[in-house]
Amino acid sequence: QSSLTIGLIPADGIGKEVIPAARQVLEALPSDLMPAKIQFEDLDAGFELFQKTGTALPEETIQALKGHCDGALFGAVSSPSHKVAGYSSPIVGLRKKLDLYANVRPVLSAAGAKTASGKTRPIDMLIIRENTECLYIKDEELLTDKDGHKYAVAKRKITEFASKRAGQMAFTMALQRDAMRREVTLGERIWKHKPKVTIVHKSNVLSITDGLWRETVREVYESNSEFVKSVDIEEQLVDSMVYRMFREPEAFDVIVAPNMYGDIISDGAAALVGSLGLVPSANVGENFAVGEPVHGSAPDIAGKNIANPIAAIRSAAMLLENKGYNAAASAVYRAADKVLASGKYLTPDLGGNAKTTEVTEAVCREL
C-alpha cells in the first residue's frame, strides 16, 4: 500500500475551520476509493504566526513541504492592506518557492446554491491564472517629485517563459477536461461545444507587456497541431471579459489570464455561482500542488463555525486529482455536489443556517 503525505497549512481566520473540514473528508474516504494511505503533517504559516514570531512562512514549513510532502492544502491568510515591515504573504511566497506556476480555478454552478442574480445559470469555467509574476512581483516604490508631491510606481513583469507555461497548461487542460468533467459532475457536462480557450489581456493599452503575453500564448497554440485541431481560441480584453462573463457566463470554457486579471476574474466568477465559499483552486507546478480555496480568511465570520467548507473540500479533491487519485477525487466532488443539491446543508453565505461542521459531516456521510 502506497502513501500520500499532505501538508496542512490552515494559516489564519476561517482557514483554521475549513482545512480541518477538508482533512476530515479525506479521512472519511473508504479504501476502495483511495488506495493510498493519507498521512497529514500540520504546518505553520500566516499573519497571526508573523505577529507572534516575526515570520509568516517559516523555513521548517518550506523544508517539510519540499522534503517529504507530496502536496499540501493551504487555508487563507489575513494579509493586512497596509505595509507591515518584514511581512510578506506566505501563500505568495509558497507559490514562488515551490514554483507553483499556475493557479487552476474551476468555477462550476451547483444545484441548490443561490447565485448573485438569484437565478441558477449553467456555469462550467476553468480559469488558469498565471501565478508567479505580473504586478505580484511587488516591485513598488514610493517617491516624491520635485514639488514635494508623493507618487508611487509599481513594476509589472511579464515573461515569455511564464506566459508559455500558463498557455501550455490552458490548452492541455482544455483537452483533458472533457473526460474529467464527465466524471465529476452530477449530471451532464455543462460545456457542450468544442473545447475553447479565452485569452484575457489588455494589449490595446499595454501593448508591450500584455502584447508579449498574448503573442506567446497564441504561439503555444499555433505551434501544436493537436491544439489547433481540437481547441478553439478567442481573445477578450479584460474589462469586456468581466462584462461578458456576467452577461453570458455559459459562453466560457477555459480562460487563461495574467496573474492580477486572473485573480479579479475568479473572485467575480465566484459570485456567479453563489459564493466564494464554493470555489476551489490548485496551485500547480511541475511536481507539486497546493490546494487552496479561492476565498480569504474572512475575519467577519471567523471563529463562528459558519464558514462554508465546500471550497476547501473541493480543493482537497483537486489535490487528489493532481496526484492521480481520480476515483477518490470524483467521489469527493460528487459528495459535495449531493450535499449542496439536497439544500439541507447550506451555510449562511448560501442562504441557509448550517454550521461548518454539519456540512462537513454530511459530505463525509455521502462518501
Consecutive H or E run containing 95? helix 90-97
- Can you tell me which of 44, 130, 253, 263 binds Mn ion, judged by CB under 5 A? 263
- Which residue number, 134 or 276, has a Cβ lying nearer to ligand NAD? 276
Q: Which one of ligand NAD, Mn ion, none interacts with residue 124, CB within 5 to 8 A by kind?
A: none
Least Å from the CB of residue 276 to Mn ion: 9
Least Å from the CB of residue 352 to ligand NAD: 11
- Buried (b) or exposed (e) across 288-320, using 16+ Cβ within 10 A? bbbbbbbbbbbeebbeeebbbbbbbbbbbbbbb
How many whole angstroms separate alpha carbon 350 and alpha carbon 363?
Answer: 16
Query: C-alpha cell of 207?
Result: 501593448
- Which residue number, 48 or 263, has a Cβ lying nearer to Mn ion? 263
Query: Which one of 153-161, 196-204, 263-271, 298-306 is the stretch in contact with Mn ion (CB under 5 A)?
Result: 263-271
How many whole angstroms separate alpha carbon 126 and alpha carbon 166?
Answer: 13
- Which residue number, 195 or 262, has a Cβ lying nearer to ligand NAD? 262
Do 365 and 336 meet the contact criterion of CB atoms below 8 Å apart?
no
Consecutive H or E run containing 366? helix 356-366
Query: Is residue 130 a contact residue for Mn ion (CB under 5 A)?
Result: no
Contacts to ligand NAD by CB under 6 A: 14, 18, 76-79, 91, 276-277, 295-301, 307-308, 311, 347, 349
Q: Which one of ligand NAD, Mn ion, none interacts with residue 77, CB within 5 to 8 A by kind?
A: ligand NAD
Do 356 and 309 meet the contact criterion of CB atoms below 8 Å apart?
yes
For the chain, the first-to-last Cα distance in angstroms comes to 21
Q: Which one of Mn ion, ligand NAD, none interacts with residue 263, CB within 5 to 8 A by kind?
A: Mn ion
Q: Which one of ligand NAD, Mn ion, none interacts with residue 104, CB within 5 to 8 A by kind?
A: none
Residues at the interface with Mn ion (CB under 5 A): 263
